[in-house]
Amino acid sequence: MSVSFNLTIFALYQYTKITDTMKLLLISNSTNPGEGYLEYPMPYIQDFLGEKAMNALFIPYAAVTFSFDEYEEKVNARFNEIGHHVTGIHRFINPVEAVEHADAIVVGGGNTWQLVDMLWEKGLMKAIRKRVKTGTPYIGWSAGSNIACPTLKTTNDMPITEPIKFKTLKLVPFQINPHYLDHHPANHGGETREMRINEFIEVNREVYVVGLREGSLLLREGDELSLLGNRPARLFKYGQEPKELTTEDDLSFLLA
């Protein structure tokens, strides 16, 4: 048996060992109409984190029109209800060290461009990726789900700032479009969400895009991926008709 073959087998073993430990809960939106903040995803978050009290590291960098302290307080009000707690990363002198010692990582929604800009500026993108790939649970909603993908290019947000890179965490190999909408308002002459995603896959032909409707979540446990919530997701791929995915479908093929 050749040395190169042995190295290939070892690399595959290491990859499998890493991906088997990954735990992600990727949420489309924080709040459904008529509900409280983080109300609908909280039972899923509780199941995901378990019963043992956990102090998760919260990343509030996507907040633009309110403070990081306010964001931390708002999230804590919900997490405390299920016996967990979050501490904002902005409270740490060394944010990279905070990531390296985190029991879980929670990334809130807001403006994806600002979030990505600050993560690169503070040297956190690689630190978070490394930590999550070795088993640290990751929860994100909206922008926090978007950055779990290879790039921020399928965000809906206005580019209010310019990050040094568009690359993000690549915790999943496909793209997510949070808050995916089918609706095209009357007398609206602009593009639909589907048209914008079709532009993306025209240029990025090998990439799947999951249109994650509000009220929906994706759960990754190792090499298994499933859809949670009460609404289907819409799957886009160049050269293929869009497909509706339900909670009955096995989405693990998207991780290949």
* Sign of the dihedral defined by the CA atoms of residues 247, 109, 77, 101, in that order: positive
- Residue given tokens 């609404």 in the structure block: 231
Q: Would you state the structure tokens that stand for residue 135, as one six-digit string?
A: 């088993």
CB atoms within 10 A of CB 8: 11
Buried b / exposed e over 77-93, threshold 16 CB at 10 Å, is ebbeeeebebbbbbeee
Q: Which residues are catalytic?
A: 142, 157, 179
Cα(185)–Cα(200) distance, integer angstroms: 22
* Sign of the dihedral defined by the CA atoms of residues 236, 238, 243, 246, in that order: negative
Cα 94 to chain centroid, rounded: 23
Q: For residue 181, what are the CA distances in angstroms to 37, 133, 253? A: 20, 31, 24
